[in-house]
Structure formats: C-alpha cells, structure tokens
C-alpha cells in the first residue's frame, strides 16, 4: 500500500471510530439485579473524573444518551471525562425494594455501585472524583445511591426526585410506584428522613456525597413537596439546619432560587417549572468541581 493511501485509510478510520456509547457486557459483582452498563469515553480523555448519568422511567442508557436535553455527552466531549450510563431492565429504577434500599443488598443500587467500581479500575478514575446525576426516577436512584454507597460517591446533582426511601414498597415489591410519595403525602421530620437514609448503610460514619437537589415548583408528577423533604433528609444526615445559610434569587437563571445549607447541600428551586427540571450542565459541573 502506498503511504498516501495508508494515510487516507487512517484518516477515514479515525472518523469511523469516533467515540460512541458502548456496552460493557460484564461489569462484575454479585448483585442479583443486572441492569445494563454503557460507557462513553470521549475521543480525548483529559480528566480522571467519572460522571454516572441515570435515566428516567421508560428510558434506557441509549435513549438518555441520545436525548438532546441531557447534556452529559457534550460535557464529556468538552471536558474529557468518562460517563457511565446504567440501563434499567424495568420501566423505572428499583427504589422500592429492601434489596435496592440496602448497601450490598443485591438490587439496582448494588449493580450501579459495581459499575462504578469497574469503571474506577478500567478507566483509571480517581475514586475521589465519582459523581452521580439523574432525572426523575434517575434522581430517586441518585438519592438512594447517596444513602447506600456514600463511600463511593463524591457529589450528586439530581433533578426532580424524591428522598431516599420515600418510594419504599410496604410489600417489598421492586420498582414499585408509590402514590403517597409521588403525591407529596410522604412527609416526615428531618430526623425521620435522616434515619431512613442512615438505615440503608448502618454504622457508616465516613464522608458522604455533597448533594445538589433541583426541583420545579409546579411538578405534576413528583410533588414539589419532595424538594423540602429531600432537603430535610440530607441536612439531617449532615447535621445542619434546614434554614439556608444563603439564598440567591434568579440563580442560575431567572426564577430559579439557589439555597445553600453550608458547603455540602445545595437546593435549587425552579419557580414555574414542572417535571422535570432540565439539566443545567454548567451548574452541575460546578457543583462537581469539573
């Protein structure tokens, strides 16, 4: 082959093999639940951080990745970090069974934790730079992961979810819907919500992920009450007051209000926004320190 032909072949090849979402068929671990694991490695990896992007109901890793409103693919290309896209085998994530609401309980949360562990080794991720985001059911799972695997996650940015344990099923069913929680009737004291989160990994006393919680004031799917309930949960876990230490109107955009509760919890209340609040890449990346 003449060298000019070879160069042409190589040039064509690099276009044809540009980064794409690819499936990892065996990410290991012994969890009974077996959601799919998909990974996006940008053409140029420039960061040792990992972002796990968790889809909403009736979606999948591929659909979520292709959704133009979900910006993590672009974030990955721009800043050069790897993203992992778990893909549920049920309509919504299992955030209701004991298996998923328990550290190493074998449920969906356990399987996603296994994906994180696999990614840390395989893609040389700094274990102190593992970040989780998600919308709706993916936001519920983000809260559940923060409670069940606090040792694995540095920070969470979740959009329009419910507190960890709010979707619990009294019969133990997996991936069950919970009308009391979605309707905003599952309210409790901060202490109670904190106890619910702590009970998912009893005895854990080390660092916990910093939490950024977004919710729309006119959410018709997961009641806006869930914003305050989620704030109660994590402020109690971090042992801080439910009264913000600072509150910024029109941040990060008009009609959004950013409430900080010390350095570890940030709430973003989106006035007039329904289900679910669109991902704000810059603000989420800033929370992650990316």
Ligand X SMILES: *[C@@H]1O[C@H](CO)[C@@H](O)[C@H](O)[C@H]1NC(C)=O
Among all residues, which ones are annotated catalytic? 136
239 binds ligand X (CB under 6 A): no
- Point out which span in 70-78, 127-135, 178-186, 247-255 binds ligand X (CB under 6 A): 178-186
Using CB under 6 A as the binding rule, whether residue 186 contacts ligand X is answered as yes
Name the segment binding ligand X (CB under 6 A); options: 13-21, 83-91, 163-171, 217-225: 163-171
Given the complex with ligand X, which of 133 and 223 has the nearer CB atom?
223
Alpha carbon 106 to chain centroid, angstroms: 19
Alpha carbon separation from 253 to 250, 269, 275, 280 (Å, rounded): 5, 11, 17, 10
Among 100, 174, 178, 235, binds ligand X (CB under 6 A): 178
Is residue 97 at the binding interface for ligand X, with CB under 6 A as the rule? no
Determine the Cα–Cα distance for residues 172 and 165; give it in Å rounded to an integer: 12
Site for ligand X in 204-223 (CB under 6 A): 205
Half-sphere exposure (Cβ direction) of 187: Cα atoms closer than 13 Å? 8
Neighbours of 220 (CB within 10 A): 10
Separation of CA 98 from chain center: 20
Contact call for residues 242 and 188 (beta carbons, < 8 A):
no
The residues near 25 (Cβ < 8 Å, ≥ 6 apart) are: none
Shortest distance in whole angstroms from residue 59 CB to ligand X: 23
Identified binder of ligand X from the candidate list 101, 166, 211, 237, rule CB under 6 A: 166
User: Are residues 185 and 224 in contact, defined by beta-carbon separation less than 8 angstroms?
Assistant: no
**Does 169 participate in binding ligand X (rule CB under 6 A)?**
yes
Contact letters for ligand X, residues 42-81 (x by CB under 6 A): ----------------------------------------
The site for ligand X, by CB under 6 A, has a size of 10
- Residue 226 binds to ligand X (criterion: CB under 6 A): no
5 counts as binding ligand X under rule CB under 6 A: no
Q: Distance (Å, rounded) from C-alpha 285 to C-alpha 157?
A: 9
Q: Closest residue to ligand X, Cβ-based?
A: 186
Q: How far is the CB of 160 from ligand X (least distance, A)?
A: 17
Cα gap 115→261, rounded to integer Å: 31
Query: 3-state class of 46 per DSSP?
Result: coil
Minimum distance between the CB of residue 166 and ligand X, rounded to whole angstroms? 4
- CA 129 remoteness from chain centre: 14
Q: Which is nearer to ligand X, 194 or 244 (CB)?
A: 194
Is residue 203 a contact point for ligand X (CB under 6 A)? yes
DSSP category for residue 258: E
Which position among 60, 62, 89, 180 is part of the footprint of ligand X (CB under 6 A)? 180
Q: Which is nearer to ligand X, 92 or 281 (CB)?
A: 92
In what helix (H) or strand (E) does residue 40 lie, and over which residues does it extend? strand 36-40
**Which bin fits 104, alpha (ψ -120 to 50), beta or left (φ > 0)?**
left
Which chain residues interact with ligand X by CB under 6 A?
Answer: 166, 168-170, 178, 180-181, 186, 203, 205
């Amino acid at each position: 082959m003449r060298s000019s032909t070879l160069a042409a072949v190589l040039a064509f090849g690099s276009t044809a093999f540009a980064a794409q979402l690819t499936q990892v068929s065996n990410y290991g671990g012994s969890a009974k639940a077996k959601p799919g694991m998909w990974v996006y490695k940008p053409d140029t990896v420039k960061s040792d951080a990992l972002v796990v992007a968790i889809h909403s109901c009736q979606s999948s890793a591929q659909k979520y990745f292709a959704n133009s409103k979900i910006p993590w693919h672009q974030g990955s290309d721009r800043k050069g970090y790897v993203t992992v896209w778990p893909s549920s085998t049920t309509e919504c994530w299992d955030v209701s069974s004991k298996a998923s609401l328990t550290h190493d309980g074998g449920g969906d949360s356990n399987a996603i934790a296994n994906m994180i562990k696999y990614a840390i080794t395989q893609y040389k991720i700094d274990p102190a730079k593992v970040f989780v985001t998600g919308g709706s059911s993916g936001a519920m799972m983000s809260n559940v992961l923060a409670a069940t695997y606090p040792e694995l996650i540095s920070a969470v940015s979740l959009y329009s979810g419910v507190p960890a344990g709010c979707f619990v099923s009294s019969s133990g069913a997996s991936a069950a819907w919970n009308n009391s929680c979605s309707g905003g009737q599952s309210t409790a004291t901060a202490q109670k919500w904190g106890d619910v989160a702590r009970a998912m990994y009893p005895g854990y006393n080390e660092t916990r992920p910093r939490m950024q919680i977004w919710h729309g004031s006119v959410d018709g799917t997961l009641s806006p009450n869930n914003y305050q309930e989620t704030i109660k949960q994590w402020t109690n876990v971090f042992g801080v007051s439910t009264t913000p230490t600072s509150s910024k109107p029109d941040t990060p955009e008009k009609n959004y209000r950013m409430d900080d509760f010390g350095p570890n919890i940030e709430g973003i209340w989106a006035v007039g926004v329904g289900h679910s609040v669109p991902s704000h890449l810059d603000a989420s990346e800033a929370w992650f320190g990316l």
